[in-house]
Amino acid sequence: MSNKERIVVIGGGFAGINFIKKLDKKRFDVLLVDKNNYHSFPPLFYQIASSGLDPGSISFPFRREMRKGSVKGARYNMGDVKTIDVANKTITTQFETIEYDKLVIAAGTTNNFFGMTDLYKRVFTLKSTPEAIRCRNEILDRLERASLCKDEKQRRRILSFVVIGGGPTGVEIAGAIGEMKRYILHREYPNITTDDLNITLIEGTDRLLRTMSETASREALEYLGHLMVNVKLQKTMKSYENNVVTFADGEQLYSEMVIWTAGVTGEPMEIIGTDFQRGPGNRFIVDEYNRVKGLNEVYALGDISLMMCDAYPKGHPQLAQVAIQQAKLLAKHLNKNEFKTTFKYVDKGSMATVGRNRAVADLKHIHLYGRPAWLTWMFVHLISILGMRNKISVLMNWIWAYCTYSTSLRLLIHSNKYPLRSRWGEKE
């Protein structure tokens, strides 16, 4: 048994993995717990969903990473954390109970359906690699079935897509399907016309990309128009039943595939041994050092943390850069066993891509759009991906797709139904 202080990290996303990289493994016994055995790159989930990238290109096994570099020395256990017992300093997954001396919660967020019961059973989401693969398979399946359908009305029903949420993910997946409509249909699905495929993007506020500048919003709207995507602003979804989307104003829209990107909430975990309550959005309220208020030796990083300050009274934006910067600072504090430097977010800008040569970027001192923004977006995302093999794979896919308007990744691969079984530790 190690005499080193044990730090358990829940979640291996941007916050968790960067925290572990900077932590002194000679001083701490570091254990990462995550329900998946790999780290993914969420900004590119939409490219998996639209067959632009292979899932393996943006996913990295934890155990491989922990054999080398700055992550070496940490350990990994697979598990979905169900309970945190702060009185006994333990966490419990479906497989085991783990003791900790210090706990770092970096579990991120999941989809928020705003009280619409069972909506998760009827819409497609893009918060994980499996969700992106499921979305990709459904899109390809519908294209294949529509190409065989002789009834024009039925064909258009099959190819009726609605994206809920006008943030970066919603804009990007809508643009990706729009590119398929404009560039791919006539090449690979000659029995389908562009009029058969309908894409509608729904946003509840008066403009797209609310976290970016108004200029970026206008440009994104224009680019979506180039890709034949219908955009409806100031529309709030009330329900989705029998393939009909109903809005708060009573308007209805038929769609056989709804992709939900409208909101997030903190990953659910039961906290016992205290009367502690989470903050807005099911997030953990932290001080300027990322220490969870009301809990001892518990820290929260990234999207699941809520740090309110004068500059960000409602908390920092739920972006990768916030998570990475918080993780590095907390690791520095724990390595030195002192908390002197308060967290100050350095905003490096925001960007979103709407398709080939169509992107917007609000950088610190400049606004970019069109091809310059698109190239900047590609460069930033490419250098952010872990592993040289993955960088090369992504770059080659992008170059090939750009030059040929085609990809070898439109493969409709469904998992086999049999044998029927549940995952280890889960009920049937």
Please check the confidence at residue 335 and state whether its pLDDT lies above 90: yes
> What average pLDDT score do residues 161-175 get?
96
Q: Is the pLDDT of residue 1 over 80?
A: no
Distance of CA 156 to CAs 45, 134, 195, 322, Å? 26, 21, 8, 42
Between 361 and 422, name the one with better pLDDT: 361
Mean pLDDT of 91-109: 96
**Cis amide prior to 55 (ω within 30 degrees):** no
Q: Is residue 328 very low, low, confident or very high in pLDDT (cuts 50, 70, 90)?
A: very high
The neighbouring-strand residues paired with 29 are 6
- Per residue in 231-246, pLDDT (tens digit) is 999 999 999 999 999 9
Chain segment 45-87, per-residue pLDDT in tens: 999 999 989 998 999 899 988 888 888 899 999 999 999 999 9
| Euclidean distance between CA atoms 102 and 295, whole angstroms | 11
HSE-up of residue 322 (Cα within 13 Å, Cβ side):
19
Q: Which residues contact 164 (CB under 8 A, 6 or more apart)?
A: 123, 170, 202, 237, 245, 258, 259, 260, 261, 262
Kindly indicate the confidence band of residue 407, based on its pLDDT and cuts at 50, 70 and 90. low
Q: Catalogue all structural domains in the chain, each as residue range(s) with its CATH number.
A: 5-35+79-112+264-336 (3.50.50.60), 119-262+349-404 (3.50.50.100)
Residue 421 has pLDDT above 80, yes or no: no
Give the global pTM.
0.92
Q: In this predicted structure, what is the pLDDT of residue 339? A: 95
Q: What is the mean pLDDT of residues 7-30?
A: 96
Please say if the pLDDT value at position 248 is more than 70.
Answer: yes
Structure tokens at 343: 């967290």
In the predicted structure, residue 259 carries a pLDDT above the cut 80: yes
| Burial class (CB within 10 angstroms; exposed 0-12, middle 13-18, buried 19+) of 340 | exposed
Nearby residues of 121 by Cβ (< 8 Å), 6 or more positions away:
none
* pLDDT over threshold 90, residue 145: yes
Q: Distance between CA atoms of 125 and 182, rounded to whole angstroms?
A: 23
Query: Is pLDDT at 383 greater than 90 in this prediction?
Result: no
Tell me the one-letter amino acid at 14.
F
* Residue 408 pLDDT class (50, 70, 90 cuts): low
Q: What is the pLDDT of residue 294?
A: 94
What tokens appear for 96 in the block? 């085991």
The DSSP letter of residue 3 is -
Distance CA 136, CA 188 (A): 16
pLDDT category, 384, cuts 50, 70, 90?
A: confident
* pLDDT tens track for 341-357: 999 999 989 999 998 89
Share above pLDDT 90 across residues of the chain, in percent, rounded to a whole number: 82
pLDDT digits (tens, 9 = 90+) for 283-312: 999 999 999 999 999 999 999 999 999 999
